[in-house]
């Protein structure tokens, strides 16, 4: 019954019309018929609203979501995980001092960013990091994979007098950059930088998310998994805490340091590891960082943005707006101010430096974490490169055969691998010697 209702709602939304219901009934009077039509109009409106809530977008040029029991299950898992995350944030009642800090930092940030010209020229906010030369490497293993744990001082610091600078530097675990490295011991090979998603940042989860065994053993790639700021061993509290709910400047500094650290890691790969090519692939928040990285590194062989939240402010606003409007004016906050300070770390505010054929995107049609409309916005900004829309949700990408084939083909095209063939949903790729 639930699937039937969802299917009717989806179909109605895709046609752009209200759902229609055929009813076989005995003859009725005009008054009864009018009342029935009125009730049907209400039902039609409910179906249309349900469809909008399920899909979360109203783009006319997106593929049609075909609702099946499997798709409904994927959507339910996404919704459950999202509500769990939202409930966790709602339980943290903001104190008076926290609200005052949010207001003061946001106001000071807008003033400083305007004065420095960073709002108009977001790329000028970022400084080029020094190359990474001699990191500390420790051999480890997990789930049958031998890897090396790379640790080095990050060296990132917010600008002098930038709001939130002292607090950010006070996050001691975050001052070291970490990465998980899987490399072969024979000759030059292509490398792929795999950028973790929100709340992740541990070897087992990251290797599983990216199917590291397939990438490393079947495709023969060398892999580097940088740990995003405030995640995994860099976290202060749970992994990802203080990134989205620690104030506007925490979000800005997270993204700025992520790009700084990834660019340093890339320099180490290119300068010391005989890399034939270097690409980047990211999931969710990592997809955001991947699309941002493409705005700074013009020699990336590819940038694969997976279920990317291309607009962090729009994403946060969708999830929390219903809770906070009564307090905005009292707190001195505005979404407009938040948008302005976030421009310096927005991939939609800068043009990518890599060619269109090196850009790849995939997104789920019933994604509850990153609405398809936001993925669509990045696709448009990137001049409509190759994109894979799949019949799934945010968390289901790993089990979607079309996504796996899409990624394998992108890597074959851009990282110098050939003879990609699909057998039972798995790709077998032979590296160029």
What percentage of the chain has pLDDT greater than the value 90? 64
Residue 185 pLDDT > 60: yes
Q: What is the pLDDT of residue 331?
A: 57
Q: What is the pLDDT of residue 9?
A: 41
Identify whether the C-beta of residue 274 lies closer than 8 Å to the C-beta of residue 281: no
| Residue-range domain boundaries for the chain | 2-55, 88-431
Q: Would you tell me how many other CB atoms lie within 10 Å of the CB of residue 26?
A: 4
Residue 295 pLDDT > 50: yes
Q: What is the pLDDT of residue 315?
A: 80
Order of strands, sheet of 136-142, starting from the edge strand that comes earlier in the sequence: 136-142, 145-153, 176-182, 222-226, 189-195, 275-283, 303-306, 359-364, 386-390
**Distance from C-alpha of 272 to C-alpha of 270, rounded to nearest angstrom:** 6
CA atoms within 13 A on the CB side of 326: 1
C-alpha distances in angstroms, 394 versus 13, 188, 398, 407? 21, 35, 9, 16
Q: Would you tell me how many other CB atoms lie within 10 Å of the CB of residue 176?
A: 15
Q: What pTM does this model have?
A: 0.84
CATH ID of 88-431, from 3.40.50.1000, 3.40.50.1820, 3.40.50.450, 3.40.50.10490: 3.40.50.1820
Write the pLDDT tens digit of every residue in 47-106: 455 555 555 554 567 888 888 999 999 999 999 998 888 776 654 556 778 778 888 899
Write the pLDDT tens digit of every residue in 116-133: 999 999 999 999 999 998
**Distance from C-alpha of 293 to C-alpha of 193, rounded to nearest angstrom:** 11
């Amino acid at each position: 019954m639930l699937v039937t209702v969802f299917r009717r709602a989806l179909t109605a939304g895709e046609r752009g019309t209200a759902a229609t219901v055929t009813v076989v009934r005995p003859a009725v009077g005009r008054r009864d018929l009018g009342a029935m039509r009125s009730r049907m109009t209400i039902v039609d409106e409910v179906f249309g609203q349900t469809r909008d809530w399920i899909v979360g977008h109203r783009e006319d040029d997106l593929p049609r979501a075909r609702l099946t029991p499997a798709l409904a299950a994927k959507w339910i898992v996404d919704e459950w995980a999202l509500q769990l995350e939202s409930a966790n944030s709602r339980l943290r009642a903001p104190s008076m001092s926290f609200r005052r800090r949010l207001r003061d930092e946001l106001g000071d940030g807008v003033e400083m960013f305007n004065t420095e010209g960073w709002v108009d020229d977001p790329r000028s906010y970022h400084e080029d990091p020094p190359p990474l030369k001699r990191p500390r490497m420790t051999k480890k293993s997990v789930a049958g994979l031998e890897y090396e744990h790379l640790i080095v001082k990050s060296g990132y610091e917010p600008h002098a007098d930038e709001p939130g600078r002292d607090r950010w530097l006070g996050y001691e675990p975050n001052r070291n950059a970490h990465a998980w490295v899987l490399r072969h011991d024979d000759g030059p090979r292509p490398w792929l930088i795999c950028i973790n998603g929100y709340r992740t940042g541990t070897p087992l989860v990251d290797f599983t998310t990216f199917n590291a065994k397939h990438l490393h053993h079947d495709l023969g790639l060398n892999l580097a998994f940088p740990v995003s700021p405030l995640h995994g061993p860099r976290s202060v509290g749970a992994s990802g805490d203080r990134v989205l709910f620690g104030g506007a400047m925490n979000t800005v500094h997270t993204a700025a340091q992520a790009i700084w650290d990834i660019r340093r890691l890339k320099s180490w790969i290119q300068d010391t590891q005989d890399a034939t090519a270097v690409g980047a692939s990211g999931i969710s928040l990592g997809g955001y960082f991947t699309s941002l990285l493409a705005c700074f590194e013009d020699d990336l062989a590819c940038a694969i943005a997976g279920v990317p939240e291309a607009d962090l402010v729009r994403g946060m606003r969708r999830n929390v707006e219903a809770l906070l409007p009564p307090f905005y004016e009292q707190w001195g906050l505005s979404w407009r101010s938040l948008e302005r300070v976030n421009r310096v770390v927005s991939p939609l505010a800068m043009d990518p430096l890599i060619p269109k054929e090196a850009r790849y995107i995939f997104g789920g049609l019933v994604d509850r974490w990153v609405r398809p409309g936001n993925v669509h916005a990045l696709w448009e900004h990137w001049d409509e490169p190759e994109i894979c829309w799949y019949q799934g949700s945010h968390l289901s990408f790993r089990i979607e055969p079309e996504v796996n084939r899409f990624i394998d083909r992108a890597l074959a095209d851009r990282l110098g691998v050939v003879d990609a063939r699909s057998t039972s949903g798995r790709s077998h790729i032979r590296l160029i010697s």
